[in-house]
Amino acid sequence: MTKKKVLLPVLAALCLVALASLSGGCSPAADPADAPYIVVDLSAGCDAPSYPVSTLAAPPSGGWTDEFKTTKLVLRRIPAGSFVMGSPKTETVHEENEVRHDVTLSEAYYIGVFEVTQKQWELVAGTQPAWFRKFGDTRPVEAVSYEDIRGEGRGAGWPKTDGVDSYSFLGRLRSRTGIPFDLPTEAQWENACRAGTETALGSGEDLADAKTDPALSRIARYSGSARKSLAGVAKKQVGSVATDCGTATVGSYEPNAWGLYDMHGNVWEWCRDWYGEYDLDQSTDPTGPEHGSQRIERGGSWYDQATWCRAATRAHAWTGNANGNVGFRLSCPAGAWISQIGAKGGPRRGAAKAQ
């Protein structure tokens, strides 16, 4: 690993800290069309006709409070650019489906600073499916399927269509904001996780051990960082175990250089794409295979050993699969956000229905 690869994400992190200190708190972005952060206010709950959407120029000077993990959703702008997707054959427990290749993302996009939490799911969908619901609103929602998030009809149509069903979580969120929020594509997810690095971890470090690794323990809840392991625990037992087991409150570990938390571990995160071998000819804005039987999951979880939490690790599951180690985070094309900004520079609310 070269010094340059480590230095770039470190400098980016320092820039984020500097911006936060200059902001003096939750300052709105001067130009909403180029906002570093967008924030959706969910506090009106699942019966609200619309959700207000605002912008931030930088994280709050005191850090992200529980407000941004419960009643508000916050997404960070990721610039367009190129990165190396996959892993080298020399990486610890490299898998054959991680063929290294160059990818270009031609448009900036927003992605969740945190995984969607139990409270945020409840405020949008009106349900509480999580195994770990007894342990607080700020843990990531889990036990949600791809179909719960996007729907079984049009929601299953990606990449032919980016539409979602109106009854799904995304259908409800889209109808109340007018913004086409979605799951990230697999390429968007890995780019955000890497944050400019080419190592096994988005921190700029490689794994020293496939099971338990100190570098991963600083940035992730996984089987090696929880005080106790829940491996093999039955769902009916989850409510009685210690709160330092299983998932962790989102944002409990160090973020990557782009200020994103829990990109490794905590819960597997659904991506939009069908699972399949990489199409090495689809190097710009890849959308995954045209057809498939299972959808992509990324990032590893509290249940998994270190190797399953690498930036390049690819998992997959049936779209109806829902268990206590699978959740998600949101994404949104920057161009779609810009199109929803009104004539006075403010976002239109509830302007579009789910498609």
SS3 92: coil
What is the per-residue pLDDT across 334-349, written as a single tens digit (0 to 9) for each?
Answer: 988 777 765 334 544 4
pLDDT value for 13: 42
Q: With 70 as the cut, is the pLDDT of residue 154 above it?
A: yes
Contact 118, 137 (CB under 8 A): yes
So what's the pLDDT on residue 230?
52
Compute the average pLDDT of residues 209-234. 79
H helix or E strand, kind and range, residue 176: helix 169-177
Burial degree of 268 (CB within 10 A; 0-12, 13-18, 19+): buried
Q: Distance between CA atoms of 92 and 99, rounded to whole angstroms? A: 14
For 30-39, 58-67, 195-204, 308-317, which range has the lowest pLDDT when averaged over its residues? 30-39
What's the mean pLDDT when you consider all of the chain?
86
Confidence check: pLDDT of 239 > 50: yes
Q: Is the preceding peptide bond at 28 cis, omega within 30 degrees of 0?
A: no
Q: How far apart are CA 325 and CA 345, in angstroms?
A: 40
Residue 352's pLDDT is 36
Residue 15: φ, ψ to 5° = -65, -40
Residue 27: pLDDT above 80? no
Whether the per-residue pLDDT at 42 is higher than 50: the answer is yes
Question: The domain 3-339: what is its CATH number?
Answer: 3.90.1580.10
Give residue 145's pLDDT: 97
Dist CA 146 CA 149 (whole Å)? 5
168 contacts 151 by C-beta, under 8 angstroms: yes
Kindly list the domain boundaries of the chain, sorted by start residue: 3-339
User: Average of pLDDT values for 159-187?
Assistant: 96
More confident call, 225 vs 353: 225
**Count of CB atoms situated within 10 Å of the CB of 212:** 15
| Calpha distance 31→20 (Å, rounded) | 17
Quote the pLDDT of residue 191: 98
Give the least confident one: 73-77, 144-148, 156-160, 329-333: 156-160
* Torsion (CA) 219, 220, 221, 227 in degrees, nearest 10: -50
User: Taking 80 as the threshold, does the pLDDT of residue 228 lie above it?
Assistant: no
Lowest mean pLDDT among 28-37, 129-138, 300-309: 28-37
- Banded model confidence at residue 5, pLDDT cuts 50, 70, 90: very low
| pLDDT of 242 | 62
Residue 341: its pLDDT value, please? Answer: 66
Greater confidence (351 vs 290) lies with 290
Q: Whose structure tokens read 């794994």? A: 207
pLDDT digits (tens, 9 = 90+) for 103-148: 999 999 999 999 999 999 999 999 999 988 888 899 999 999 999 9
